[in-house]
Amino acid sequence: RQSLLGGGYALLNRTTLEPNPDFYIAALFSRLMGRAVLSLELKTAPAPTVGAVRAAPGGGGANVTAFAHCARHAGQGPASTSVVVLMVNSGEADVEVEVDPSLALASSPRLEYVLSSIDLHSQEVLLNGDPLRTRPDGSLPPLTPRRVEATLPPANGRGGEMRDHAVTAAHAIVMKPHSIGFFVLGASKRLQENGICGRPENEADEPS
């Protein structure tokens, strides 16, 4: 339809044929997000909520939107069963977000794909702070994640068990203004036990 009407194709620049910012968002969504959509609430209150992503009170938390899916393929993340949390910060301030342990394991590393730009009208996209540019032969740049190791707090002295609030804090994520982030995390024990994210039918088809 766009070709027939002479309109702009949102994924490519019509003049240079370079990928537009939307291209990289679509590519990461297709690569990472599986078919199974998980229930998720965005909370600004500090009280734990099952399946919640909590933004710190104040500081622009109302400007964050979040979604969660099972990872597209088993074993593609830091654990044998992973979930992907997609977050968008449309505000002007940093927002600290915590992923509830009922959704993801704090003891697991996470893979981060954070897209940003120096200007909202810029064609240049940064992935984890590095510019994405096509190669001289026109091929796409690699979409390489940043790996963040889990930094668990010390045990509370009672049989080596961790405090729930401390484990939650280990998965804090800071979303920069006007950024979009895909965060691949090890699925919680609850999700592993019910087998939702391990079902083959939840894996998306390969992109054509």
pLDDT on residue 15: 78
**C-alpha span between 184 and 163 (Å, rounded):** 23
More confident of the two residues 26 and 9 = 26
Name the residue type at position 179: S
Residues 187-197 have pLDDT tens digits of 887 787 777 77
Residues 99-152 have pLDDT tens digits of 877 787 777 788 999 999 988 888 889 999 999 999 988 899 999 999 988 765
CB contact at 8 A, 35 and 201: yes
Q: Which of 18, 37, 41 is nearest to 29 (CA)?
A: 37
- The gap from C-alpha 28 to its chain's centroid, in whole angstroms, comes to 9
Torsion of CA 75, 76, 78, 81, to 10 degrees: -40
pTM of the complete model: 0.77
> What rounded mean pLDDT belongs to the chain?
75
Beta-strand ranges (E) seen in the chain are 33-37, 41-43, 52-55, 64-71, 82-89, 95-99, 110-116, 126-127, 130-131, 146-148, 172-175, 179-186
Residues 157-181 have pLDDT tens digits of 443 333 333 333 445 788 888 999 9
